[in-house]
Structure 1
Amino acid sequence: MNPDPCSLSASPPRSWPSEGYTRAPYWAYRDPDIYAREQARIFRGKSWHYLGLEAEVPEPGCYKTTYIGEASVLLTRAEDGSLHAMLNRCAHRGNMVMREAFGKARKLYCVYHAWSFTLEGDLARAAFQHGLRGEGGLPKDFDTAQHGLRKLRVNTLCGLVFATFSDEVEPLEEWLGDVAAGIRRVLRKPLKVLGYDTQRIHANWKAYHENPRDSYHANILHTFYGTFGLSRQSQESGMILDASGRHVYFYTKAGTEKESSDYKETSSSLRSVNDGLRLEDPGILKWTDEFQDGISVQILTAYPGFVLHQIANSLATRQLLPKGPGQADLVWTYFGFADDDEQMTRTRLAQANLAGSAGMISVEDAAVCEMMMRAMGDAQEGESYIEMGGRDLDGGGATKLSERAIRNFWHNYRLDMEL
């Protein structure tokens, strides 16, 4: 008798390539069972996830709706000024409680059956709890304390807000390790939000997560970087990972070229170096060394879905949100400092055009992620080769000419996923 096709697994048995973290099998980007497992083991597992800026919920009663993986989440500021994060899912019948991206409220109110919650996520009132005229209502032993919103742990660092489902993961700054220094370098003062940009990328979230970890591609793919000198492989640069390899940041110092014969030989063949291009208004290249260290570009990535960038004087966070095996949202939040003068704010806004969904630099990142997914096809065979700079987790040292950070990503991913 033929087996019932409905009883068969949707995916064939999987085994990781024997080369380990120097390979990434293409099925890891496409398999719906893998995607479902990621939601449980990574996004609801032992990781911290970026929710937003403290400046986005500046006053008591302010809230923001966002996501961790595919879970709808609320970030609130309570009357005492404390920050809270919780699932944006009513404890009654699972309806979304708050629908607006941002707002201000005295209570969190579910429109379906009028259950209301405090800003800390506790159930305050259930409509008709005691019934009407002696009929209906909730059981007499109904305990409001047992039916609040699912609360998450919250930690902050330099105005950034992170949350986790886990009671076991270490505190945020300890989890970030040495990479926390890259956050403290940039976020030195109170922040102010300048704007937002959200793009849908038709690629698996991991394809994009690899991208800002990939210091090697920046001066090859991005014509603007190489041509106009904000970042070149010939400039002074470095890469720092935390001890676990989960998180990384790298930096480049414009104007520190140390060209060599091998650099000239390679750069002359790169399409990203085009001496024939000119800017009609070169003002976008003018930047102030506001941190007094010569760094023109710093890109920081925290596992599994956060990016902080400084590109000249453009400052932004990126929040990576998976939306199925084949697509993800990337939410850009542009910001400056609360004490910026008008000229600096204008500079930050002008240089924001370098990044974002249509940025003169970053538009190419989403494009190559989508190209990768199209090239993978059904992903039943094939794998990435990740050996630039070595075959181990430390190979390549501090140089940007390395895929060390990507090898470390896949190492941690496999640990979390038990693959």
Structure 2
Amino acid sequence: MTTDVQSLYRWPAADCTRIPYGMYTNPEVYALEQERVFQGPVWNYLGLEAEIPNGGDFRTIAVGDTPVILNRDRKGQVHAFVNRCAHRGAIVQRQTCGNARAHICCYHQWCYNLEGRLTGVPFQRGIDGKGGLPEDFERKEHGLRPLRVAILNGVIFGTFADEIEPLEDYLDKPFADQLRRQFNRPIKILGYQRQRVFGNWKLYTDNLRDPNHGGLLHMFQITFGIARLNQTGGAKLDKRGRHNMSWAAQQMGQFAEDDGYAGTERGDTKLQLKDPTLLQYRKEYPDDYNLTIASIFPNCIFQQIGNTLAVRQIRTKSAGEFEIFWTFYGYADDSAEMDAHRLRMSNLVGPAGLVSMEDGEAIRIVHEAILGSENEHAIVEFGGRGPVTDQATLITDVPMRGFWLYYCELMGIEPGKAA
């Protein structure tokens, strides 16, 4: 696309402390994101090796709104390619997951192998010299469009870009280390959830980079001390500011005497759970973190909330709709009792999670309120203006600005510059 996105809206602040609402609502912006962000020089999360352990195993996923097949071939190699037939553009693999010898389009039965190469075209030569494809048609030129794949500790990323920094450089040390921390040994998949949210996908990435909201919006989290804003916590960023990890390191259920909530309706610490095991964190890492939300630009989140471990992938649908796909996991050497504990704790998160149920509604009410106000701006000043750096507090939205600064770079926008 040739859209001059710089000219669409006014960006009054070079440090992205003002975000034009139109960047969330404009379908033209959304279409450009698919090209410049999701298919640009980024590493997109695709899945986990544990989801496709055997030759022929596959999952159908998405990168932005582009349908993708992720599979393992018979030699054990992982491949990813666009799930769109080279013939007429139909979805090739329609199942969510399974094991296949090949991927066959139901429309005209074009057949692709597990490396994405076109291996079969019915009636390619016609019958009795009539019909069929031209003699110079080469199957090898019409495979499924591939993504380049890179894997770190069993976590699979893919990119459409021909030129891009290596995955570990893209993640930078804090986030490569975080993946090694969470995937420090073989894992097992415990289950999946999906959530459709009516709002713009960037409102969700904002939400993930705004630890300030967690101790104000989420009443369950506040009431039972999972992450209150007075607790020990903060945010880590990569050298470009594009990735963020919000963290807390205080035992769940502990409260300080002067917690900053005095006089508000969000300060009740007297309620008790009938089943307190829901919040019993069992220390399993050398550090003291009991909550980490690591958001990797542009589309994924690696979470540890107590002992519930999950990956969330954002799958965009339109300027006003997206899906969150949750993959819950534990470690292969966990006992059956630990599996049950992780699953019990997983009630904290997901579409109806005791902690996270409010997020989807918050995003919806923001999106509805900003429609028609494209040239007004969000204020992003908690934590201060200027450089984007690590934060030693949860009362900040500085990581939001790190996301937007890199987003603007990919989109061809210079914040603070007149159109």
Q: TM-score under structure 1 normalisation? A: 0.93
1:69 pairs with 2:61: no
Superposed CA deviations along residues 18-49 of structure 1, whole A, max 9, x for unmatched, are 11311111111111111111111101111111
Distance 1:56 1:396, change over 3 A: closer
AA matched with 1:367: E
Determine the structure 2 residue equivalent to 1:280: 274
Query: Which residue number in structure 1 is paired with residue 220 of structure 2?
Result: 224
The answer for the alignment partner of 1:196 in structure 2 is 192
Asked if 1 retains the 8 angstrom alpha-carbon contact of 2:215 and 2:229, the reply is yes
Counterpart selection for 1:329 from 317, 323, 327: 323
| Deviation sequence 1:271-291 (CA, Å, 0-9, x none) | 433224321221201121011
Q: Partner amino acid for 2:177? A: A
1:360 alignment partner, one of 354, 359, 363: 354
Quick one: which amino acid aligns to residue 54 of structure 1?
E
Q: What CA distance in whole angstroms lies between the structure 2 residues aligned with 1:237 and 1:275?
A: 20
**Structure 1 residue 162 displacement after superposition:** 1.1
Contact between 1:392 and 1:404, CA under 8 Å: does it hold in 2?
no
Cα distance in 2 for partners of 1:42, 1:269 equals: 44
Contact 1:389 1:404 in 2 (8 A): yes
Of 225-234 and 60-69, the range deviating more from structure 2: 225-234
- 2:88 corresponds in structure 1 to 93
- How far 1:396 sits from its partner (Å)? 6.6
Deviation at 1:164, TM superposition (A): 0.8
Q: Which digits, 9 at most, give the CA deviation of each residue in 1:179-235, with x for residues without a partner?
A: 222221111111111111101101100001111111222112222222212222222
Which residue number corresponds to residue 161 of structure 1? 156
**Structure 1 residue 13, shift from structure 2 partner:** 5.3
Helix, strand or coil for the counterpart of 2:212? coil
Mapping for residues 318-397 of structure 1, pairs under 5 Å: 318-394=312-388, 397=391
Q: How far 1:167 sits from its partner (Å)?
A: 1.3
Residue deviations 1:240-264 (CA, integer Å, cap 9, x gap): 1000111011211123979485xx3
Structure 2 unaligned spans of 5+:
414-419
Q: For residue 140 of structure 1, what is the aligned residue in structure 2?
A: 135
Q: Is the 8 A contact 2:235 2:390 kept in 1?
A: no
2:78 counterpart residue number: 83
Does the CA-based 8 Å contact 1:227-1:277 persist in structure 2? yes
Does structure 2 conserve the Cα–Cα contact (< 8 Å) formed by 1:389 and 1:396?
A: no
Partner SS state of residue 411, structure 1: helix
Q: What is the aligned counterpart of 1:214 among 193, 203, 210?
A: 210
Q: Which amino acid aligns with 1:134?
A: G
Q: Residue by residue, what CA displacement relative to the aligned partner does 1:51-89 show, whole Å, maximum 9, x if unpaired?
A: 111111110001110111111100010010000000001
Q: Greater shift after overlay, 15-24 or 108-117?
A: 15-24
**Hey, what does 1:292 align to over in structure 2?**
286
- What is the identity, as a one-letter code, of the residue corresponding to 2:305? I
Cα gap change, 1:395 to 1:43, in 2 (>3 Å): closer
Partner of 2:111: 116
**Larger displacement relative to structure 2 (387-396 or 301-310):** 387-396
Which position in structure 2 is the counterpart of 1:125? 120
Give CA-to-partner distance per residue, 1:335-357, whole Å, 9 cap, x none. 11111101110000000000000
Deviating more after overlay: 391-400 vs 46-55: 391-400
The two structures, once aligned, show a CA RMSD in angstroms of: 1.9
* Shift in CA distance, 340/23, structure 1 to aligned 2, threshold 3 Å: same
Q: Which moved more, 1:396-405 or 1:240-249?
A: 396-405
The answer to whether the aligner puts 1:245 opposite 2:264 as a matched pair is no
> Once structures 1 and 2 are overlaid, which stretch shifts more, 67-76 or 397-406?
397-406
SS at match of 2:318: coil
Q: Higher RCO, 1 or 2 (CA under 8 Å, sep at least 6)? A: 2
The 2-side partners of 1:379 and 1:86 are apart by 38
Instruction: Name the SS for the 1:216 alignment partner.
Output: helix
Gaps in structure 1 of 5+ consecutive residues: 1-8
Aligned partner letter, 2:386: D
How far the C-alpha of 1:379 sits from its partner, in A, is 2.5
Taking the aligned partners of 2:264 and 2:299, their CA distance within structure 1 comes to 30
How far apart, CA to CA, are the structure 2 residues paired with 1:51 and 1:160?
8
Whether the aligned pair in 2 keeps the contact of 1:389 and 1:395 (CA below 8 Å) is: no
Bigger mean CA deviation after superposition, 399-408 or 72-81? 399-408
User: Which moves more between the two structures, 400-409 or 233-242?
Assistant: 233-242
Work out the CA distance in 2 between the residues paired with 1:218 and 1:187: 25
Does structure 2 retain, via aligned residues, the 8 Å contact 1:238–1:400? yes
In structure 2, what is the equivalent of residue 234 of structure 1? Answer: 230
Higher alpha-carbon deviation: 331-340 or 247-256: 247-256
- CA distance in 2: counterparts of 1:65 and 1:357, whole angstroms: 21
Identity of counterpart residues, as a percentage?
39
1:308 aligns with 2:302: yes
Q: Residue 298 of structure 2: SS of its match in structure 1?
A: coil
SS at match of 2:302: strand
2:231 aligns to what SS in structure 1? Answer: coil
Could you tell which deviates more after superposition, 43-52 or 218-227?
218-227
Q: Does 1:36 align with 2:27?
A: no
Structure 1 residue 134: Cα displacement = 1.5
The answer to whether the 8 A contact 1:220-1:271 is kept is no
Instruction: Give the count of matched residue pairs.
Output: 407
**Is contact 1:50-1:306 (8 Å) kept?**
yes
For 1:395 and 1:144, how far apart are their aligned partners in 2?
51
